[in-house]
């Protein structure tokens, strides 16, 4: 491979200014922060976050940086690690179809930590989020092509973390080039498909991506030198040609449900039919989900852990049949033994639809056939996941989602105050927002 260091990416990162961003990009970044804050708050009650707090204290030690959802404070590495464990704990964060991964969650732990550490303003933090998103997605495309298999969010998060933190730290283009090269070379090569087939806290590898990024930052500041990254190669530097013109952050999708995206259209399909025909779960004899092959391969076992509940197709669909929704409450450990939901799982079957499978991965389509106990056969319209990029998801949509997913954790009064802080004065300090969340 031939490499050319022309600092196009690094100059974009250094020169990015809030005042120069288009209005729709600014609004999207505020929406992203709302969404990621919701993921962190919801994730703060997860088993994975408890593990992250223990690891952060044991490996890195305490300090003076606040962590969303914790009364303890940590140093930079510890706080980044802790929030790297909570941000993707319930699989409720944004995604991007080019990488089939979750960019925001992959770096929010480190970028929010550095913003708190340096006491920056909201607009400075949001600008750091922008360069992290734009770099992560482009580098993710390059990595996926170079290694020829589906990686996952943690791989790309190592790069996004160093870019966002480097922006907040005021790194020069030379410092950025070095730390990006170190992080990209050493990024964990997370095997994304295995996380779907064998659900666990491994999931998308987000905690280890954040930690790799943090280690790359610290090691670089100690003198560690890298050399070249994929975005400098002749094969992939074209991915930088539209920097500052094309904003991939506008192409994100957002998830209404805390489970694998492939399950979402099935949830909406059954909810639609049941709502239209005023059905309750006891009216139903059988549900047939017709979808693309990858979705049918998702787990259908009775989940024993929150992760098994998220990377599952039968459990979320059965929950939606019973409750008309699939919220954070459904993936809490205390609700995984709900007998009504478990009995409803036995009424479900899943079939591959050839046309839907042909459309995958560009489209993820599903329809539901519901057979009632009195013999009626009711069929939904073909459904795609809600929150796709073409819908141009608004701040209002993301605010409604925030209220819904954080309801089990914080009061309505607190929800509204957090939203007002994020959408209010752009010169507010990030510390004020995080400290309020933790009150």
User: Is position 386 within any domain?
Assistant: no
Domain that holds residue 91: 8-255+392-437
List, for residues 138-179, the tens digit of each pLDDT value. Answer: 999 999 999 988 788 999 999 999 999 999 999 999 999 999
The confidence score (pLDDT) of residue 197 equals 72
User: Is position 137 within any domain?
Assistant: yes
Query: What span, in angstroms and rounded, lies between the C-alpha atoms of 266 and 288?
Result: 10
Q: Please give the mean pLDDT across all residues of the chain.
A: 95
Helix (H, G, I), strand (E, B), or coil: what is residue 232?
Answer: helix
* pTM of the shown model: 0.95
The confidence score (pLDDT) of residue 152 equals 86
In the structure encoding, which two tokens stand for residue 48, read together?
A: 């994975």
User: Is position 53 within any domain?
Assistant: yes
Q: Please say if the pLDDT value at position 273 is more than 80.
A: yes
In the structure encoding, which two tokens stand for residue 186, read together?
A: 């050493």
List, for residues 338-350, the tens digit of each pLDDT value. Answer: 999 999 999 999 9
Whether 138 and 62 map to the same domain: the answer is yes
Percent of the chain with pLDDT over 90: 92
Whether 74 and 51 map to the same domain: the answer is yes
Task: Answer yes or no: are the C-beta atoms of 263 and 336 closer than 8 Å.
Answer: no
Banded model confidence at residue 8, pLDDT cuts 50, 70, 90: very high
Residue 377 pairs with which residues in a beta bridge? 371
Task: Answer yes or no: are the C-beta atoms of 103 and 213 closer than 8 Å.
Answer: no
Q: What is the CATH number of the domain that holds 124?
A: 1.10.4100.10
Query: What span, in angstroms and rounded, lies between the C-alpha atoms of 183 and 220?
Result: 10
Whether 67 and 179 map to the same domain: the answer is yes
In the structure encoding, which two tokens stand for residue 132, read together?
A: 């992290």
């Amino acid at each position: 491979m031939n490499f050319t260091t022309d600092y196009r990416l690094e100059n974009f990162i250094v020169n990015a200014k809030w005042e120069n961003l288009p209005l729709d990009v600014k609004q999207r970044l505020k929406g992203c922060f709302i969404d990621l804050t919701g993921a962190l708050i919801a994730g703060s009650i997860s088993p994975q976050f408890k593990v992250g707090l223990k690891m952060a204290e044991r490996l890195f030690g305490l300090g003076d940086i606040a962590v969303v959802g914790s009364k303890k404070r940590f140093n930079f590495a510890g706080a980044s690690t802790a929030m790297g464990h909570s941000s993707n704990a319930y699989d409720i964060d944004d995604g991007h179809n080019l990488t089939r991964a979750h960019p925001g969650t992959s770096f929010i732990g480190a970028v929010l930590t550095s913003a708190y550490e340096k006491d920056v303003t909201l607009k400075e933090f949001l600008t750091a989020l922008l360069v992290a998103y734009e770099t992560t997605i482009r580098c993710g495309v390059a990595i996926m092509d170079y290694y020829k298999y589906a990686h996952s969010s943690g791989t790309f998060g190592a790069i996004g973390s160093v870019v966002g933190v480097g922006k907040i730290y005021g790194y020069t283009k030379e410092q950025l080039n070095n730390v990006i090269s170190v992080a990209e070379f050493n990024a964990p090569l997370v095997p994304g498909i295995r996380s779907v087939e064998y659900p666990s806290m491994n999931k998308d590898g987000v905690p280890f991506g954040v930690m790799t990024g943090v280690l790359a930052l610290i090691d670089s500041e100690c003198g560690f030198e890298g050399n070249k990254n994929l975005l400098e190669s002749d094969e992939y530097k074209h991915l930088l040609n539209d920097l500052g013109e094309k904003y991939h952050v506008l192409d994100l999708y957002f998830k209404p449900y805390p489970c694998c995206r492939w399950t979402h259209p099935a949830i909406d399909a059954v909810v639609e039919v049941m709502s239209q025909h005023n059905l309750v779960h006891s009216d139903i004899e059988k549900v047939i989900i017709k979808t693309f092959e990858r979705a049918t391969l998702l787990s259908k076992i009775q989940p024993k852990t929150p992760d098994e509940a998220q990377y599952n197709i039968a459990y979320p669909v059965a929950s939606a049949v019973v409750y008309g929704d699939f919220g954070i409450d459904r993936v809490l450990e205390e609700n995984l033994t709900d007998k009504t939901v478990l009995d409803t799982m036995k009424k479900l079957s899943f079939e591959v639809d050839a046309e839907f499978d042909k459309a995958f991965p560009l489209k993820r389509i599903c329809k539901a056939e519901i057979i009632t106990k009195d013999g009626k056969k009711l069929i939904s319209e073909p459904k795609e996941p809600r929150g796709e990029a073409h819908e141009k998801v608004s701040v209002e949509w993301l605010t409604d989602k925030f209220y819904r997913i954080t309801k089990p954790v914080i009061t309505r009064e607190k929800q509204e105050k957090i939203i007002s802080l994020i959408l209010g004065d752009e010169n507010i300090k990030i510390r004020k927002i995080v400290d309020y969340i933790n009150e």
